Amino acid sequence: MTYTSTPEVQEMKARVCALHAELLRWGLVTWTSGNVSGRVPGTDLIVIKPSGVSYDDLTPELMVVTDLDGKVLEGDLAPSSDAESHNEVYRRMPETGGVVHTHSPYATAWAARAEPIPCVLTAMADEFGGEIPLGPFALIGSDAIGKGIVETLRGHRSPAVIMQNHGVFTIGKDPKSAVKAAVMTEDVARTVHISRQLGEPVPIPQADIDRLYDRYQNVYGQQPAPKEQ
Amino acid sequence: MTYTSTPEVQEMKARVCALHAELLRWGLVTWTSGNVSGRVPGTDLIVIKPSGVSYDDLTPELMVVTDLDGKVLEGDLAPSSDAESHNEVYRRMPETGGVVHTHSPYATAWAARAEPIPCVLTAMADEFGGEIPLGPFALIGSDAIGKGIVETLRGHRSPAVIMQNHGVFTIGKDPKSAVKAAVMTEDVARTVHISRQLGEPVPIPQADIDRLYDRYQNVYGQQPAPKEQ
Amino acid sequence: MTYTSTPEVQEMKARVCALHAELLRWGLVTWTSGNVSGRVPGTDLIVIKPSGVSYDDLTPELMVVTDLDGKVLEGDLAPSSDAESHNEVYRRMPETGGVVHTHSPYATAWAARAEPIPCVLTAMADEFGGEIPLGPFALIGSDAIGKGIVETLRGHRSPAVIMQNHGVFTIGKDPKSAVKAAVMTEDVARTVHISRQLGEPVPIPQADIDRLYDRYQNVYGQQPAPKEQ
Amino acid sequence: MTYTSTPEVQEMKARVCALHAELLRWGLVTWTSGNVSGRVPGTDLIVIKPSGVSYDDLTPELMVVTDLDGKVLEGDLAPSSDAESHNEVYRRMPETGGVVHTHSPYATAWAARAEPIPCVLTAMADEFGGEIPLGPFALIGSDAIGKGIVETLRGHRSPAVIMQNHGVFTIGKDPKSAVKAAVMTEDVARTVHISRQLGEPVPIPQADIDRLYDRYQNVYGQQPAPKEQ
Buried b / exposed e along B158-185 (16+ C-beta atoms within 10 A): bbbbbbbbbbbbbbbbbbbbbbbbbbbb
> If you measure CA to CA, which chain B residue comes closest to C197?
B198
Q: Which of A58, D110, A72, A225 is nearest to B78 (CA)?
A: A225
CB within 8 Å: B141 and A215: yes
- Chain D neighbours, 3+ Cβ pairs < 8 A: A, C
> If you measure CA to CA, which chain A residue comes closest to D192?
A109
> What is the spatial distance between Cα C103 and Cα C123, in angstroms, rounded to a whole number?
21
CB within 8 Å: C223 and D113: no
- Judge whether residue B185 has pLDDT over 80: yes
Distances (CA, A) of D27 to A161, B94, C103: 28, 45, 20
- Assess whether the previous peptide bond of C224 is cis (omega < 30° from 0): yes
> If you measure CA to CA, which chain D residue comes closest to A28?
D187
| Strand order across the A46-48 sheet | A72-74, A64-66, A46-48, A35-39, A98-102, A167-172, A160-163, A134-135
ipTM of the complex: 0.94
- Chain B residues with CB-CB distance to C50 below 8 A: 222
Q: Closest to C26 (Cβ–Cβ): which among D30, D167, D196?
A: D30
Q: What is the DSSP string of A20-36?
A: HHHHHHTT---TT--EE
Confidence band of D1 (pLDDT split at 50, 70, 90): low
Residue pLDDT, tens place only, A199-225: 999 999 999 999 999 998 886 656 543
B211 reaches C (C-beta below 8 A) = yes
The whole-number pLDDT of residue C225 equals 36
- Judge whether residue D229 has pLDDT over 60: no
B77 reaches A (C-beta below 8 A) = yes
The whole-number pLDDT of residue C111 equals 98
- Chain C residues with CB-CB distance to D114 below 8 A: 202
**Where on the phi/psi map is residue A199: left (φ > 0), alpha (ψ -120 to 50), or beta?**
left
Q: How far is A193 from chain B (nearest CA, A)?
A: 8
CB within 8 Å: A33 and D202: no
Could you give the count of Cα atoms lying within 13 Å of B200 in the half-sphere of its Cβ? 3
pLDDT exceeding 90 applies to what percent of chain D? 89
Residue A186 DSSP SS3: helix
C54 reaches D (C-beta below 8 A) = no
CB within 8 Å: D122 and A197: no
Q: How far is B98 from chain A (nearest CA, A)?
A: 22
Confidence band of D221 (pLDDT split at 50, 70, 90): low
The whole-number pLDDT of residue D226 equals 37
Average pLDDT over residues B72-83: 96
The whole-number pLDDT of residue A68 equals 97
> What is the spatial distance between Cα A111 and Cα A124, in angstroms, rounded to a whole number?
17
CB within 8 Å: B137 and A215: no
B25 reaches C (C-beta below 8 A) = no
CB within 8 Å: B204 and C137: yes
The whole-number pLDDT of residue C227 equals 34
Residue pLDDT, tens place only, D60-103: 999 999 999 999 999 999 999 999 999 999 999 999 999 999 99
Q: Closest to B198 (Cβ–Cβ): which among C105, C139, C196?
A: C196
pLDDT exceeding 70 applies to what percent of chain D? 95
Q: How far is B226 from chain A (nearest CA, A)?
A: 35
Residue A86 DSSP SS3: helix
- Chain D residues with CB-CB distance to A106 below 8 A: 194
**Domains by residue range for chain C, with CATH:** 7-218 (3.40.225.10)
- Judge whether residue D31 has pLDDT over 90: yes
The whole-number pLDDT of residue C141 equals 82
Dihedral angle at the C-alpha atoms of C97, C99, C100, C106, nearest 10 degrees? Answer: 110
> What is the spatial distance between Cα A27 and Cα A32, in angstroms, rounded to a whole number?
12
B182 reaches C (C-beta below 8 A) = no
Asked whether the beta carbons of D124 and A166 are under 8 A apart, the reply is no
Alpha-carbon dihedral sign for residues A202, A208, A214, A220 = negative
Q: How far is C207 from chain B (nearest CA, A)?
A: 28
- Judge whether residue A1 has pLDDT over 70: no
Q: How far is D121 from chain C (nearest CA, A)?
A: 18
The whole-number pLDDT of residue B25 equals 96
Confidence band of B218 (pLDDT split at 50, 70, 90): confident
Q: What is the DSSP string of chain D?
A: ------HHHHHHHHHHHHHHHHHHHTT---TT--EEEEEPTTSS-EEEPBTT--GGG--GGG-EEE-TT--EEE-SS-B-TTHHHHHHHHHH-TT--EEEEE--HHHHHHHHTT-PBP--SHHHHHHHSSPBPEEPP--BTBSHHHHHHHHHHTT-S-SEEEETTTEEEEEESSHHHHHHHHHHHHHHHHHHHHHHHTSPPPPPPHHHHHHHHHHHHHTSSSSSPPS--
Q: Which residues of C are catalytic?
A: 126, 220
Q: How far is B71 from chain C (nearest CA, A)?
A: 34
Let me know if D133 is exposed, middle or buried by CB neighbors in 10 A (0-12, 13-18, 19+). middle
- Chain B residues with CB-CB distance to A120 below 8 A: 112, 165
> Crossing angle, helix C175-197 and helix D105-112, to 10 degrees?
60
* Averaged confidence pLDDT in chain B: 94
> What is the spatial distance between Cα C191 and Cα C193, in angstroms, rounded to a whole number?
5
Query: Is A220 in the active site?
Result: yes
Residue pLDDT, tens place only, B186-210: 999 999 999 999 999 999 999 999 9
C41 reaches B (C-beta below 8 A) = no
CB within 8 Å: D222 and A50: yes
The whole-number pLDDT of residue C221 equals 56
- Judge whether residue D223 has pLDDT over 70: no
- Chain A residues with CB-CB distance to B77 below 8 A: 222
Average pLDDT over residues D138-146: 91
Contacts of A214 by beta carbon, 8 Å cutoff, 6+ apart: none
- Judge whether residue D126 has pLDDT over 70: yes
Q: Which of A95, A67, A50 is nearest to A9 (CA)?
A: A67
Residue pLDDT, tens place only, A78-103: 999 999 999 999 999 999 999 999 99
CB within 8 Å: B50 and A204: no
CB within 8 Å: D121 and A110: no
A173 reaches B (C-beta below 8 A) = no
A194 reaches D (C-beta below 8 A) = no
CB within 8 Å: D115 and C219: no
* Averaged confidence pLDDT in chain D: 94
Q: Which of B52, B45, B28 is nearest to B87 (CA)?
A: B45
- Chain B residues with CB-CB distance to C169 below 8 A: none
> What is the spatial distance between Cα C12 and Cα C73, in angstroms, rounded to a whole number?
14
Report, as ranges of residue numbers, the positions in chain C whose pLDDT lies below 70. 1, 219-229
Average pLDDT over residues A125-133: 97
Asked whether the beta carbons of C130 and C159 are under 8 A apart, the reply is no
D94 reaches C (C-beta below 8 A) = no
Q: How far is A31 from chain B (nearest CA, A)?
A: 22
CB within 8 Å: D229 and A109: no
> What is the spatial distance between Cα C47 and Cα C86, in angstroms, rounded to a whole number?
10
Q: Closest to A191 (Cβ–Cβ): which among B105, B114, B164?
A: B105
CB pairs under 8 A between A and B: 90
Query: Is A106 in the active site?
Result: no
CB within 8 Å: D198 and A113: yes
C198 reaches D (C-beta below 8 A) = yes
| Strand order across the B167-172 sheet | B72-74, B64-66, B46-48, B35-39, B98-102, B167-172, B160-163, B134-135
Buried b / exposed e along A36-66 (16+ C-beta atoms within 10 A): bbbbbeeeebbbbbbbbbebeebeeeebbbb
Residue pLDDT, tens place only, A137-165: 999 888 899 999 999 999 999 999 999 99
Contacts of A1 by beta carbon, 8 Å cutoff, 6+ apart: none
B81 reaches A (C-beta below 8 A) = yes
